[in-house]
Amino acid sequence: MINNDNYMEEESRDLQLFGMTPEKGRWGLILVGLIINLCLGSIYSWSVFVNPLTTFFTTELHQTVTAAEVLLPFSVFLAFFAIAMPLTGKYIDTFGPRNITIVGGILTGLGWLLASIVTSVQMLYLVYGVVGGIGVGIAYGVPVAVAARWFPDRRGLATGLTVLGFGFSAFFIANIAGYFISSTGVMNTFRIFGIGFIVLIILLALPLRFPPAGWAPAGWAAPAPAAGAISCECNRSEMIRTSAFYGLWLCYFIGCLAGLTAISIAKPVGTEVVAIESGLATLLVGFFAIFNGGGRPVFGSLTDWLKPRNTAILSFVLIGAASLLMWQVPTVPVYILSFAILWGCLGGWLAIAPTTTGTFFGTCDYPRCYGVVFLAYGAGAIVGPMLAGFIRGSTGSYLGVFPYVAILSLIGLIVAFLSLRR
């Protein structure tokens, strides 16, 4: 008879990642996941495309489009991104992280490619928003799930570093897109990005894999639950019967609404409200992306250290302060500070929510559990930019968005205090 424990120890000793022990090589998977998310997060550069697309539809196709219509592909993309995650999460274990990432990468690139031949803004909703959004939804959860399983000892940090690429994407993509738009036109830019994303994501997907069942880092053992605590390993149906799930979902929705609104209007607010030059506004979108990316490992680590409830409360204090400041003192320095905070807190929630999901509900059904939690992101993606577009259209300025965000941050703070308990 084979001794199972001895067999697993032997298998762990033979296991290698990138030619190294798994304890060292697993950091290579974090880097791979970060770069994949760098490609997937290109949607965060959408504000750079708003004015060139408006000009293209007006001058080249002789169509009249509004700011809200050109912002809508951003919302459609993120909504289908969120919808696809819970629908595809269960297939990660069935088909493996490599294959799922390749499928998602091809669809993501295809969305960008097809966007280069649209003849109306409505077609853009379909090919860029639906096809591209589904592609990102399929691929996005894979590096997160891989990181969560390879880093049971440092789950918050690993998750934060993996999704850092998604938030940090605009730092690179906004400036690259600005260069290509000015030199080759907005439609050729879509085409270049589409081809590049397909090639890159396929290559980066090849090393992705899960650890063997029962694997743990050498010398590490799962901590015993504190006295009176319940160690929870929930499947999706069990999770949605808990009050903690609904509290987390609502907090995530508010955090994402605030951040995604800021992302969708970053450049127009800079040029219209505080009157900075268009080129500088594009550079600032990339600057804000540093905070969006950096917010993920920072808030991921804080979630490990301060626990989810306290970290969520901190994020809502920052969101509320930044919104009130921007509303009351709309100057260039305040714009830079406020948007850096709002982008950073969005990045924070994209680390807080997956880490909290694993902490509260376990990892046995993590892809499907987090897929349902992630629907809050899609809801925020729809409501936030639509609210901004409505306020801009009815008042002639984006400034009226910020008091609403401040009120929502107060609601989020109260919900986090009352419900974010394991």
Residue 408 tokens read as: 């929502």
Torsion angle, alpha carbons of 221, 222, 227, 230, to 10: -160
Task: Name the more confident of 219 and 5.
Answer: 219
Name which of 414, 133, 366, 78 is nearest 254 in CA terms: 414
Task: Name the more confident of 196 and 278.
Answer: 196
pLDDT band at 231 (very low <50, low <70, confident <90, very high): low
**Exposed, middle or buried: residue 364 (CB in 10 Å: 0-12, 13-18, 19+)?**
exposed
Q: Is the pLDDT of residue 222 over 80?
A: no
Superfamily in which the 22-212+234-419 domain is placed by CATH: MFS general substrate transporter like domains (1.20.1250.20)
Give the mean pLDDT of the chain.
87
Q: Is the pLDDT of residue 90 over 80?
A: no
pLDDT band at 225 (very low <50, low <70, confident <90, very high): low
Listed by start position, the domains of the chain span 22-212+234-419
Read off φ and ψ for residue 338, nearest 5 degrees. Answer: -65, -45
How far from chain centre, in Å, is Cα 97? 18
| 162 in Cβ contact with 34 (< 8 Å) | yes
3-state secondary structure of 17: strand
| Rounded-to-integer distance, Cα 115 and Cα 122, Å | 11
- The partner residues of 20 in beta bridges, in order of sequence, read 17
pLDDT band at 6 (very low <50, low <70, confident <90, very high): very low
Residue 20 is given by DSSP the state B
- pLDDT of res. 10: 46
* Model confidence pLDDT, tens digit, residues 17-50: 888 888 899 999 999 999 999 999 998 888 889 8
